A and B are shown apart, each in its own frame.
Chain A
Amino acid sequence: MSAQSTVEKSSPSDVPPNTITASAIRTTERAYKARGVQLFWRAMWARAYPRLIGTRREISWMVSETLLPLLGTSAYVYVYKATGAPPEFTGFAVLGGVATAFWLNVLWSMASQLYWDKDGGNLEIYVISPAPMTSVLMGMAVGGIVMASVRGFSILIICSLLFQVSYSITSLPLLLLIFFFTMAALYGMGMMMASIYLAAGREAWHMSNLLQEPIYLASGMYFPVRALGALVATLASAIPLTLGLDAVRQIIFGNLTVGWLPPETELLLLIGLSVVFLYAAHWSLVKLEDIGRREGRLIERRK
């Protein structure tokens, strides 16, 4: 198969034959493309953009991601009322509803997202681009956190007004730190799950379904996690929501007797989980991209 040949270009205009060799080519000017951190940053915000703009442009989330969790939260609030629970348990249920918004976002907009992207044809474009996949997932996470925060805080405000929940925050800086590292760990977990889901193929949707109620249970979303017993609570502490929710409850309701661990301890654990999950996310992405390229999974479309 010869390298060079004299070619005639088929063109509407009369282009004279060119003999194309490497040395004779007039190289046209190339557009600048960033590398390293700059590329990561640009790619991250590019991927976050659809989610950020979606919050403003596609307002059906007000019903699907606020009203639905609100209904679920209300149901649990009334269960507590039916059992004669103290008023702070209403607040527990409300916080559980807020946490639901974040967990559902992690499950359906993070973990399953690469699978949907493969289905829709976007995954190939991400992979072919020079942007590291971690930056794409980070962008999804950033956008997801914004999306989920809008929804979560809408639920918090509406339910707090509806059910007249009162809060007394014992330490605002601690609360903000807890929130930040819960999000970091949670979305790091979501990024890690995205890689796993990519390998799982069509099971992705089923796995997301499977991980809804069991996680609500294990993480004590609607009740103090210590009610599950020490062993289960310890295991459940691997889920960032478990520690985050427990710490937030203790800080904003000021009742330490129903807490699992002291909030400061839970903060340290969350910082550790953030590091672990973010590293695991990066590692699993690299590993699974390699497996995907080796076995052709990046290009298969199974329904």
Chain B
Amino acid sequence: MAVQAAHAIQTTGVGRVYKIRGPKKKSDAKELIALKDVNLEVPYGELFGLLGPNGAGKTTLIKILCTLLLPTSGTALVDGVNVATHPQEARRRISMVSGGETSGFGLLTVEENLWMFARLYGMDNKVVRDRLNEMMEIVGIADRRRTKISDLSTGLRQKMNFVRGFLTDPTVVFLDEPTLGLDVTAAREVRSFVRQWMTDHPDRTVLLTTHYMAEADDLCDRLAIIDKGQLLTVDTPENLKKRLQQSAIFNLRVQPVGDKPRDGARIENVPGVQNAVFHDGTEFTEINLSLERDDALPGVLAHLSARGSSLIALEKREPSLEDVFISLVGRRLDQDTTELSKVELEA
């Protein structure tokens, strides 16, 4: 049995800072901190998730682990290999599949593209062909093996990308928003494939980034919530949700909330309110509410009434990962600040 490193993925104090090119004013930021002091240990055999909004640093972290980017500080090991100092060795053990990937050559067939990419890993022709046949059957694209990839739909293209990612027999697979842009059926098939692969290869590891709560909840053994470049927490989905089970989670739909009360009182100041996230629409306002106990609800309703609003609908539910996210970050996943896309990066 081969000797393995202690962890499939290990990061210690990993940080990544981008210099901003040509800030327009003196007051503008000159640097963007994409990652800050990320410490992570992922054991072999785990399907680990990174959950966070756009611009949180998920892709930055994955690019570092894939040897596309150097960390500005800290060390990152994949299968015991330092990705910064020994990238070539690390690359033999990894692969990456991104959502919305358009790689490949349109004039080559599915089979030819996959063969070509596998040969970049130095695999034998016979091994490639055997694995190709097997994997295309599993994924369900065997009948399109001789189709030029320029003729494939998005879903089939992504399935091909998946085959590419797993064809080279990696120890660690990085999946960066792999179901992005896929319809429900295709996304389900992709998730099923990943699950099955993990079952068949208990010593391999997958690191998945996503901003789909349900996907993280369904697939991941453990997950980390990341926001603004920092890991906020790491645990299993069940344990994360259990933390909130003491709380009462409500979804309120109310008439548009009027001006704040003159005394400046906020809903968070109402006794028993742990967290409240507003989502304003034209016809109603939605509020995700986390209360210490159920009997704090009347106080909330009174506060809203004082602000000229009234209740339209009320729902109590079990805590979800989104609630966990809101409790940690203070906003919904779709209320992100896309800092990385707002600033011009030093190139």
* Shortest Cβ distance from A33 into B: residue: B122
Is the Cβ of A7 less than 8 Å from the Cβ of B221?
yes
Binds B, one of A15-23, A210-218, A249-257: A15-23
Is the Cβ of A30 less than 8 Å from the Cβ of B39?
no
Interface of A is mostly: loop
Interface check A46, CB cutoff 8 A: yes
A131 partner residues in chain B, CB cutoff 8 A? 120-122
A130 partner residues in chain B, CB cutoff 8 A? 88-89, 91-92, 120-122
Pick the contact of A3: B7, B102, B131 (CB < 8 A).
Answer: B7
Is the Cβ of A27 less than 8 Å from the Cβ of B67?
no
Is the Cβ of B45 less than 8 Å from the Cβ of A28?
no
Is the Cβ of A20 less than 8 Å from the Cβ of B43?
yes
B345 partner residues in chain A, CB cutoff 8 A? 296, 300
Is the Cβ of A293 less than 8 Å from the Cβ of B69?
yes
| Number of residues on chain A facing chain B (CB within 8 A) | 63
* Shortest Cβ distance from B115 into A: residue: A46
Nearest CB of chain A from residue B67's CB, rounded to whole Å: 6
Is the Cβ of A46 less than 8 Å from the Cβ of B120?
yes
* Shortest Cβ distance from A199 into B: residue: B347
Is the Cβ of A11 less than 8 Å from the Cβ of B4?
no
Nearest CB of chain A from residue B62's CB, rounded to whole Å: 10
Interface check A132, CB cutoff 8 A: yes
B120 partner residues in chain A, CB cutoff 8 A? 42-43, 46-47, 125-126, 129-131, 136
Number of A-B contacts (CB under 8 A): 185
* Shortest Cβ distance from B90 into A: residue: A130
Within 8 A of B (CB), among A270-303: 293-300, 302
Is the Cβ of B43 less than 8 Å from the Cβ of A42?
no
CB-CB under 8 A for A5 and B168, given A32-B127, A298-B68, A299-B69: no
Is the Cβ of A42 less than 8 Å from the Cβ of B119?
yes
Is the Cβ of A293 less than 8 Å from the Cβ of B123?
no
Is the Cβ of A11 less than 8 Å from the Cβ of B195?
yes
CB-CB under 8 A for A46 and B201, given A31-B123, A128-B67: no
* Shortest Cβ distance from A49 into B: residue: B116
B91 partner residues in chain A, CB cutoff 8 A? 128-130
Nearest CB of chain B from residue A278's CB, rounded to whole Å: 20
Is the Cβ of A50 less than 8 Å from the Cβ of B107?
yes
Is the Cβ of A299 less than 8 Å from the Cβ of B68?
yes
CB-CB under 8 A for A294 and B70, given A31-B131, A50-B105, A122-B103: yes
- A114-132 near B? 1/0 per residue, CB < 8 Å: 0000001110111111111
CB-CB under 8 A for A35 and B108, given A18-B202, A46-B116, A124-B68: no
Q: How far is the CA of A3 from the CA of B4 in the complex (A)?
A: 15
Is the Cβ of A25 less than 8 Å from the Cβ of B4?
yes
- B15-40 near A? 1/0 per residue, CB < 8 Å: 00010000000000000000000011
Interface check A26, CB cutoff 8 A: yes
* Shortest Cβ distance from A27 into B: residue: B203
Interface check A4, CB cutoff 8 A: yes
Q: How far is the CA of A11 from the CA of B195 in the complex (A)?
A: 7
Is the Cβ of B199 less than 8 Å from the Cβ of A27?
no
* Shortest Cβ distance from B96 into A: residue: A128
Q: How far is the CA of A28 from the CA of B201 in the complex (A)?
A: 6
Q: How far is the CA of A201 from the CA of B21 in the complex (A)?
A: 15
Is the Cβ of B43 less than 8 Å from the Cβ of A21?
yes
CB-CB under 8 A for A10 and B195, given A25-B4, A50-B107, A120-B103: yes
A1 partner residues in chain B, CB cutoff 8 A? 39-41, 224, 231, 234
Pick the contact of B101: A58, A121, A128, A293 (CB < 8 A).
Answer: A121
Interface centre among A9, A30, A302 (most CB of B within 10 A): A9
* Shortest Cβ distance from A122 into B: residue: B103
Interface check B1, CB cutoff 8 A: yes
Nearest CB of chain B from residue A119's CB, rounded to whole Å: 9
B68 partner residues in chain A, CB cutoff 8 A? 124, 127-128, 293, 298-299
Interface check A232, CB cutoff 8 A: no
A49 partner residues in chain B, CB cutoff 8 A? 108, 112, 116
- A63-89 near B? 1/0 per residue, CB < 8 Å: 000000000000000000000000000
Q: How far is the CA of A297 from the CA of B105 in the complex (A)?
A: 22
Is the Cβ of A38 less than 8 Å from the Cβ of B122?
yes
Interface check B288, CB cutoff 8 A: no
* Shortest Cβ distance from B72 into A: residue: A294
Q: How far is the CA of A4 from the CA of B115 in the complex (A)?
A: 37
Interface check A57, CB cutoff 8 A: yes
B346 partner residues in chain A, CB cutoff 8 A? 295-296
A54 partner residues in chain B, CB cutoff 8 A? 107
Is the Cβ of A27 less than 8 Å from the Cβ of B4?
yes
A27 partner residues in chain B, CB cutoff 8 A? 1-2, 4, 203
Interface residues of B (CB under 8 A from A): 1-2, 4-7, 18, 39-41, 43-47, 63, 66-70, 87-89, 91-92, 94-96, 98, 101-105, 107-108, 112, 115-117, 119-124, 127, 131, 164, 168-169, 192, 195, 198-204, 218-219, 221-222, 224, 231, 234, 236, 238, 345-347
Starting from the known contacts A22-B6, A50-B107, A296-B63, 17 additional A-B residue pairs (CB-CB under 8 Å) come to A2-B234, A3-B6, A5-B222, A5-B236, A10-B195, A10-B219, A13-B199, A31-B168, A33-B122, A46-B117, A120-B103, A124-B68, A125-B164, A128-B94, A129-B121, A130-B122, A293-B87
Interface residues of A (CB under 8 A from B): 1-5, 7-13, 15, 18, 20-22, 25-28, 30-35, 38-39, 42-43, 45-47, 49-50, 53-54, 57-58, 120-122, 124-132, 136, 201, 293-300, 302
Can you list 14 pairs linking A and B with CB atoms under 8 Å apart?
A: A3-B6, A9-B199, A11-B199, A12-B192, A22-B44, A31-B169, A33-B122, A53-B112, A121-B102, A122-B105, A124-B96, A124-B98, A130-B91, A300-B347
